Structure formats: C-alpha cells, structure tokens
Structure 1
Amino acid sequence: MDHAEVLALHDRDLRERARPSGPGARVERTGGVVRQVADADGWNGILWTDLDEADADAAIAEQIAYFTGLGRDFEWKLYGHDLPADLGQRLTAAGFIPEPQETLMIGEIAALALDAEPPDGIRLLPATDRVGVDLVADVHEKAFGSDSSRLRTGLLAQLAADPDTVVAVVALAGDEPVSAARMELVPGTQFAGLWGGGTVESWRGRGVYRALVAHRTRVAADRGYHYIQVDASAQSRPILERLGLVPLTTTTPYLYEA
C-alpha cells in the first residue's frame, strides 16, 4: 500500500468531497473550507481545509461566526498534515478546546488478518432496529461513561433513511451486551470507516474488540470496499496494528462551544 497515495485518496474522497453523515445534514464549501451543518443532534464541524498562513485566521473567525450564529457547538477536525503547520495553535488561540489526539489508521482489506473470532461465551448480534440500537447505546454509556442519546438518535435515523450505509453490531455474553461498534460505508468511495468500538471494563483484554473489527471488515469486503479506516485511540492502535492497519497521520478534534 502506497501510504502517501492512500492518504491523498482519503483526503479527497472522505474530506474534500465528503457526503453528509446523516439525514438532515448538508455539506457546504465556502472558500478553502468544507464543513458539515446539521441540527443540534447531528455532527457540526469542519471536514477539510485548504488554507495558508495568510488566510487561516480569517477562515477560523468566519466559521466561528457562522456556527455561533446558528447556535451550534462545532468541531474542527484537524489532521496532522493540514496546513498551515501551526493551525492547531491558531485554533486554540481562537477559543477552541483540543480533545485527545488519535491516529488515522488505514488498512487494505485484502492484506488484513481477519480470522479473529469472538471469545468463548460471546455471540455477535447485528443491530438493525430500535432494540439493537438501544443495546449499542447502553454499551457505549457503560464503556465510555458518557451520554449516548445523540448516538441513539443518529443511528436510528441513519438505519431508517439509508440502511446500506451503516452496520452496527453488539457482542452479547448470554443476554448481557458487553461490547458494540458500528461501521460507516461511504458510497462511491473505496473506504469503510470503523467507529465507536467500546467494551465494558470487565470484558476488556479478551479479544472482543478484535473480533468486532474483523467482523465489520469482512462485511465491508463482501460489499466491495477496498480500505478500512479508523481514528484509533492509544488503546486500540496496538490491536489494529496486529490486524495489519498502518498509521498514516494524526487527527485531533478541536471543539468550540457556541
């Protein structure tokens, strides 16, 4: 896999030419900025930029004015190779709060190790209706300690409007949900994105997360996708590297409260 070529393809197809991530959202281009605008329950933020030292501060001010005018909190999703090189510092100076940095990892599906199966006592259940989505949301609240109402609302809406673009799965120990994750399939591109993999503490380190990655990737392969991409935390990166994904750059969410 040519790392520079694949990163350029990722930037073009998933950022510069991004599709709305859910019903009711829209993608707009203004100057050197591509942004998504959604309602208060959706994701609002900056997807891609073509900026330099001369116009970066004005572009930042313009986006702050736009989203605050809508009454929306929003995220500036900054990648390690975005320009200008000090864009993160400029965002911080403008009032954005950086969240923990993650690693953009991409794998060519044909080259990945996809033989990982769930550990004994675990079965995987597709989440295709409200009952399944509630299980996904419940796992996320337990695994991450955060409210999952936005996830629940967005996933239900996406399953209702365009079910071919999302795959959600829950790992059950008996009848107890212990892990969950989803996959976004981007039509017209070669990429499927893995999102939201979370496991309750008592089941971590047993191979459940690895099995969920392998399961979703096999689904992506069956549907004709070529690459898997993940924004990996420090905890998930070693697991993904063992499966064959490679780090290409970093990604950091910068949040602005309206």
Structure 2
Amino acid sequence: MVDTEALLAAYDAQMRLPTGAVPTGLTHEYDGPVLRIVGGHVGRIRAPRDVGVTGAELDRLIARQRDYFRARGEGVEWKLRAHDLPADLPERLVAAGFVPQEPSTVLLGIAAEAAAEPVLPDGVVLRRITGTGDLRRFAGLQTEVFGVDCSWVADDLAARVSADPDQTVVLVAEAGDRIVCGALVDHCPGTDFAALLGGATLPDWRGRGLYRALIAARAREAVARGFRLLHVDASPASAPILRRCGFHAIATSTHYEWTPVR
C-alpha cells in the first residue's frame, strides 16, 4: 500500500518552489511569503501551502502581484492547490480580478515502478532534442494539440536547457520527419522529484501507447539520476493513463490568471 499522506507531505515540502538554475531572462523575486517569477511568457506566483497572512494583509499581497505585472503590461498566474491556506485565498484572488482555469489533478508516482523500456509503434523513434529548430517543432506540436499559440515554448525550453542541460530533458517520438508525441522531464535539484511536463500527442496518433512510452522513458531517466518520485499536473486526458501506470492522485491544482486589458 502506498502512503498517499506521506506523498502529499513530500510534495508540499519539496515542490512548492522551483529549484535549480534560473534560466537566462528570468528573475526570481520574493515578496514576503511568495516567489514572483518575472521575464517569462507570463508572470508566475509560487507560494508555500500556507502563505501565512490573512484578511486585509492577504488582499494587499495579492494586489501587489497584480499591480506589479500590470505596470509591466503583462499577465500573471498564481498556482493554487485545493488544500492551500488560508481557505479563502481562492475567493480573494477572484475578488482581485484573477480568473480560475480548469483544474489539473496532481499525481505522484514511484519512479522505479514506472520505469520501463519504452514500447513504440513500428517506425516510431524516440529522441532527445536540444537544438533551436527541434524545440520550435516541439512548440508547434503543442500549438496543434492544445489549440493555442505555444510558440513561446521554444524560447522557454531553450533557456532552461541552456541554464542546465542535465535538469531539463525534452523527448520526442518521431514518425519519419514528423513529431507525433513529445514531453519533457524536469529533474528538480535538491528534491526527491522529477516533474513530468508538457506531454502532447497528435490526435491521429493517440491510443497507440506513445504517451505511456514517454512516461516509461522519463521514469527511467529519473531513476538513473537518483530521483525517487515523479510528479505530474495532469489533464483529464492524461490522468487515466498515469493512474494505469501506478500514479496516485493527491490533490488538484488550479492556475488563477490575471490578464491586463489591451
């Protein structure tokens, strides 16, 4: 039996704030209990489970983040888990103009249990990518799959790979000259966790085991590097696959987004 309470405690202790090298172009700034990440596609706010302030003081903390990015003419997202404190933080974010997006399921897995030899359809090759052209192709895959402009992902990944090539690994499954599935893994220094991110599969290639193969490949990479646990913020499409791979749901996470009026 897996102790999901222990998994949740490990997640809360280790996965609330980013670790490792800060990519070129980004800055990390603390405002009291929260970390403000500046210089990316949008601003990002990360925080401990309990931000430690309430009432009017919390409202001022939220307003400062919104107004900071308003002055830059940029949007900002505040990542919130369902068990975060204080309990009225979601309502206070909404009152400040933040809009909740569709929640994701936070799933954790034991890396050694998910690690396996990837099983790929005939004619499909798995490859690690680092070059600008390939990263643009990966961003194009995400744009096609998610139906929104993800072109910024190429520059974001290039900066992350440049900051620490061993921390962020991008994998793609190719059929001929076409990327049909892709994902990345972020090995979080100083933690037990590798985070599985960015999974996308072309619609006509779904149901052939590609996403499962990328889970297995990334889990093997994590085990080889000494990481014990895997973390995913999973979409409704990905969560059932991850559960079949032995992952356990421990929470939900929601991005609260504020966007400036153009």
Q: 1:24 aligns to what?
A: 25
Counterpart of 2:194? 192
1:47 maps to amino acid: R
Q: Secondary structure at the match of 2:166?
A: helix
Judging changes above 3 Å, is the alpha-carbon distance between structure 1 residues 231 and 246 closer, same or farther for their aligned structure 2 residues? same
Aligned to 1:96: 98
Residues 115-194 of structure 1 mapped to structure 2, 5 A cutoff: 115-194=117-196
Give 1:230's aligned residue.
Answer: 232
Report the TM-score, using the length of structure 1 for normalisation: 0.91
TM (normalized to structure 2)?
0.90
Q: Relative to structure 2, which stretch is displaced further, 235-244 or 16-25? A: 16-25
| Contact kept in structure 1, 2:17 and 2:47, CA below 8 Å | yes
Look up the match of 2:14.
13
CA contact 1:136–1:169 (8 Å) conserved in 2: no
Kindly provide the amino acid, as one letter, of the partner of residue 147 in structure 1: D
* Cα shift readout 1:55-113 (whole Å, capped 9, x = no counterpart): 33222122212222333211000101101223212211211111110011111112336
Q: For residue 48 of structure 1, what is the aligned residue in structure 2?
A: 47
User: Could you tell me how far apart the structure 1 residues matched to 2:153 and 2:88 are?
Assistant: 32
Aligned: 1:34 with 2:51:
no
Superposition CA RMSD, Å: 1.9
Q: Which amino acid aligns with 2:177?
A: D
Instruction: Give the conservation status (yes or no) of the 8 Å contact 2:43–2:77.
Output: yes
Answer with 53-62 or 206-215: which moved more: 53-62
Specify the alignment match of 2:69 in structure 1: 67
- The structural deviation recorded for 1:19 is 4.9
**Deviation sequence 1:210-248 (CA, Å, 0-9, x none):** 111111111111111111100001110000001111111
Structure 2 vs 1, CA of residues 70 and 12 (structure 1 numbering), >3 Å: closer, same or farther?
farther
Given that 2:29 and 2:36 are in contact with CA atoms closer than 8 Å, whether structure 1 keeps it comes out as yes
Local SS of the residue matching 2:80: strand
**Contact 2:19 2:190 (8 Å CA) reproduced:** no
Q: 1:86 aligns with which of 59, 81, 88?
A: 88
Distance in structure 1 (CA, Å) of the matches to 2:126 and 2:115: 19
Q: Spell out the pairing of 1:211-222 with structure 2 (5 A cutoff).
A: 211-222=213-224
Where does residue 212 of structure 2 map in the other structure?
210
Aligned position for 1:112: 114
CA–CA separation in structure 2 for the residues paired with 1:255 and 1:154: 19
Q: What runs of 5+ residues in structure 1 fail to find an aligned partner?
A: none
Contact 1:183 1:216 (8 Å CA) reproduced: yes
Contact 1:182 1:196 in 2 (8 A): yes
Measured in 2, the distance between the counterparts of 1:134 and 1:30 equals: 34
On the 8 A contact 2:106/2:231 being kept in 1, the answer is yes
Q: Distance in 2 between matches of 1:86 and 1:18?
A: 28
Q: 1:18 to 1:87 in 2, by over 3 A?
A: farther
Residue pair 1:231, 1:251 contacting (<8 A) in 2 also: yes
Q: Using the alignment, how far apart are the partners of 1:7 and 1:91 within structure 2? A: 24
Gaps of at least 5 residues in structure 2 are: none
Question: Does structure 2 conserve the Cα–Cα contact (< 8 Å) formed by 1:18 and 1:27?
Answer: no
Give the length in aligned residue pairs: 256
